Amino acid sequence: MAVRIDGKAVSAAVRARIKAETEEFIRATGVTPGLAVILVGSDPASQVYVKNKKKACEELGFYSESYDLPAETAEGELLALVEKLNGDSRIHGILVQLPLPAHIDEKKVIRAIVPQKDVDAFHAENVGHIMIGDYRFLPCTPAGVMELIHSTGVKVEGKECVVVGRSNIVGKPMAMLLLHENGTVTVCHSRTANLKEVCRRADILVAAVGRPRFVTADMVKPGAVVIDVGINRLEDKKLCGDVDYDAVEPVAGYLTPVPGGVGPMTITMLMKNTLAAAKATVE
């Protein structure tokens, strides 16, 4: 039976460390880490994420500003706001909640954020830093996954690691972080042949597919660490991961639930990046 990896508990422990570091930083420098969160439109999932980010700022003693813009906001207006925040010394991190409405070019908006304030680590300059292993910021979700893997005590070095999904925000940076810890990494996607067999090789399996219960028991090596990044909303409104939890639980060695696994880690890592961004301004 797999050990359940408790994302809430790991996240709380990391947040306690960030809080202590933040208090010390404010005492030493008089600078309060500041995060600006921009939401365009009224996507219900995005509203929940933004609310949780504000709550995390309050909990950790950060300064925060939030901008709730209507869905019809023009691209130029959003870019002007980003530009204003780029120059605002109280703000160390700028987060534009994705997805944006179709008439706004996401890439252009991400490029407009100065890399020093790009706490999501989506800007090409920060992605480049991730590739060469010289981090300014760690990408939030993959960094959260690494914390969860570390919490198991299982070392990544020398392990077969399989990441299912190759998106720019999860799959690709995830593969890089595992590689930097000396895992032997395979990245799978919708054109991968023999996916089941490839997944079964994994000592560490990370699912970031966006399909409910995609990973079944016959895709999991006995004893493997299985991390479920997926957040899928079912017809009955319940949340469900990319891993068939009940079926995989008897096979895996460690397993994250959804909700309560990777989800709580992502915002915590965002706070870590915002503190790092604030620290960089006084170094």
**Taking a C-beta distance cutoff of 8 angstroms, is the pair 6, 63 a contact?**
no
| Tally of CB atoms within 10 A around 84 | 11
Give yes or no for residue 166 binding ligand NDP (CB under 6 A). yes
Q: What are phi and psi of 41, to 5 degrees?
A: 95, -175
Which residue in the list 118, 120, 203, 242 is annotated as catalytic? 120
Number of residue whose CB is nearest ligand NDP: 167
Q: Which of 10, 146, 175, 188 binds ligand NDP (CB under 6 A)?
A: 188
**Taking a C-beta distance cutoff of 8 angstroms, is the pair 86, 46 a contact?**
no
Q: Which of 46, 86, 167, 184 binds ligand NDP (CB under 6 A)?
A: 167
Give the single-character DSSP code of 88.
Answer: -
- In whole angstroms, give the CA distance from residue 151 to residue 7: 10
The yes-or-no answer on residue 53 being catalytic is yes
Q: Which is nearer to ligand NDP, 52 or 86 (CB)?
A: 52
- For residue 158, the minimal CB distance to ligand NDP (Å) is 25
**Taking a C-beta distance cutoff of 8 angstroms, is the pair 6, 260 a contact?**
yes
Give yes or no for residue 52 binding ligand NDP (CB under 6 A). no
Q: Which is nearer to ligand NDP, 25 or 144 (CB)?
A: 144
Q: Which of 266, 268, 273, 274 binds ligand NDP (CB under 6 A)?
A: 266
- In whole angstroms, give the CA distance from residue 272 to residue 266: 10
Q: Which is nearer to ligand NDP, 169 or 278 (CB)?
A: 169
Tokens representing residue 195 in the block? 């996916």
User: How many chain residues are in contact with ligand NDP, going by CB under 6 A?
Assistant: 25
Binding piece for ligand NDP, criterion CB under 6 A, among 69-77, 112-120, 154-162, 262-270: 262-270
Give yes or no for residue 262 binding ligand NDP (CB under 6 A). yes
Provide the edge-to-edge strand list for the sheet that holds 254-255: 3-4, 254-255, 225-228, 204-207, 160-164, 184-188
Give the chain's largest Cα–Cα span. Answer: 56
Q: Which is nearer to ligand NDP, 190 or 281 (CB)?
A: 190
Tokens representing residue 213 in the block? 């219960």
Q: Which residues bind ligand NDP (CB under 6 A)?
A: 141, 164-167, 169-171, 188-192, 195, 208-211, 229-232, 262-263, 266
Q: Which residues are catalytic?
A: 53, 97, 120
